[in-house]
Amino acid sequence: MRRLLIFVALALPFAPASFAQQTATKVWTPPKTAWGDPDLQGIWPGNMGVPMERPKGLGERTELTDQEFAQRVAQAQRASAADAVEFAPKDERIGIGPPSYWTERGKPTRQASLIIDPPDGRLPPMTPEAKAIQAKTPAEWAGKANSYDDVNLYYRCITRGAVGSIIPVVYNNGNQIIQAPGYVVIRNEMIHETRVIPLDGRPHVGSNIHMYLGDSRGHFEGNTLVIETTNFTNKTSIGSNGVAYNGQGGRNSEALRLVERLTRVDDDTVNYQATIDDPKTWTKPWTILIPLKRDDKYQFLEYACHEGNYALKDILQGARKQEELQR
């Protein structure tokens, strides 16, 4: 792990090789926009398959062994085989998940965990206050449906948060980057969100303005786009769909300061690295790495989430009906 960290630290100001090819020595020069910024434009969908936290047994090892990788590949193949099944078996409980064939499956990689720092690939300890919040906020909807606000922000189609919008999930993983002089925009397909990031060094908005996606300011350090984001709410999580750190609930605090680094390491890869510094929630900062692969053929769809949110209405109506039957 130490080797990787040193590599990442050294490589950032230059044009580093990809995560998977960290020993490559050839320097790749990324394209520039007409106005001279490193060109990150394109559609860069995330792909599932790498866990947030590293299995404890792997220790500080950042990549899977051949044997472990073969297992991951076999697992991916089994999952793909299930995609051929269009309809669920008759006796299967009516599920809330999507059919298997909706799933966007990427090519399996050897990356052991999204978390690359701390070196063991695991979340640092939470503060006692954050633990208390976590106990009250389950990641998945726990079934309580007295009101719409018993249901999480994702199911309510409000947001998945800045990082949660990039962490790969089952479908609609489209991330599009668009640039104009003085701006970089990150556009996320699911729920439909954009972060317009000014590069002109202006100060953040006032501290009384809070936003789910925060207030982002960017600059280039060599070929790396560095985005510093503050002014968050305390309603989202850093994790899958913005509702969980790692299958666990909990929320980040308004003190969160997010530093993202986007580096195009080859024609088809942008390494997305995010450091989460939220001293009210975690006792030290932690960092994730997601290599995003370019896909020019990716169909970036309109995700009209709230407009088609029959689930929330059905959940509430169902709960009222259940109460009526129990009376």
Partner 1 sequence: MRSFSIGLRTAALLLLVVAAQAQAYRAPRSADGHADLNGIWQALNTANWDLEDHSPAPGTMWETGAIGAVPAGQSVVESGEIPYLPVALEKKKNNFASRRTNDPEAKCYMPGIPRANYMPYPFQIVQSPKGILFVYEYASANRFVNMGKPEEAGSDTWMGTNYGHWEGETLVVDVTGLNGLAWFDRAGDFASDKLHVVERWTRSDRDHLQYDATIEDPSVFSRPWKISMPLYRRVEKNAQILEFKCVEFAEELLYGQYKKK
Q: Which is nearer to partner 1, 43 or 133 (CB)?
A: 43
Distance, CA of 191 to CA of 158 (rounded, Å)? 7
Contact pick of 27, 34, 84, 325 for partner 1 (by CB under 8 A):
34
Binding segment toward partner 1, per CB under 8 A, in 48-56, 79-87, 145-153, 253-261 = 145-153
Answer yes or no whether residue 137 interacts with partner 1 by CB under 8 A: no
Q: What share of the chain is helix, strand, coil (3-state, %, to 5)?
A: 20, 20, 55
Query: What element of type H or E holds 8?
Result: helix 2-11
Nearest distance from C-beta of residue 234 to partner 1, angstroms: 15
Answer yes or no whether residue 148 interacts with partner 1 by CB under 8 A: yes
Distance, CA of 217 to CA of 199 (rounded, Å)? 6
Q: Which is nearer to partner 1, 45 or 121 (CB)?
A: 45
Interface characters, 172-201, with partner 1 (x: CB under 8 A): ----x-xxxx-x-x-x---xxxx-x-x---
Distance, CA of 141 to CA of 278 (rounded, Å)? 24
How many residues at the interface with partner 1, by CB under 8 A?
A: 48
Nearest distance from C-beta of residue 317 to partner 1, angstroms: 5
Answer yes or no whether residue 237 interacts with partner 1 by CB under 8 A: no
Answer for the pair 123, 116: CB distance below 8 angstroms, yes or no.
no
DSSP 37-77: SB---EE------S-SSPPGGGTT--B--HHHHHHHHHHHH
Contact pick of 159, 172, 236, 240 for partner 1 (by CB under 8 A):
159
Q: Residue 231 — left, alpha, or beta (φ > 0 → left; ψ -120 to 50 → alpha)?
A: left
Answer yes or no whether residue 300 interacts with partner 1 by CB under 8 A: yes
Distance, CA of 252 to CA of 285 (rounded, Å)? 12
Q: Which is nearer to partner 1, 69 or 183 (CB)?
A: 183
Answer yes or no whether residue 35 interacts with partner 1 by CB under 8 A: yes
Looking at residue 307, what DSSP letter applies? G
Interface contacts to partner 1, rule CB under 8 A: 33-35, 41, 145-149, 156-159, 176, 178-181, 183, 185, 187, 191-194, 196, 198, 202-203, 205, 209, 211-213, 299-302, 304, 306-307, 312-313, 316-317, 319-320, 323
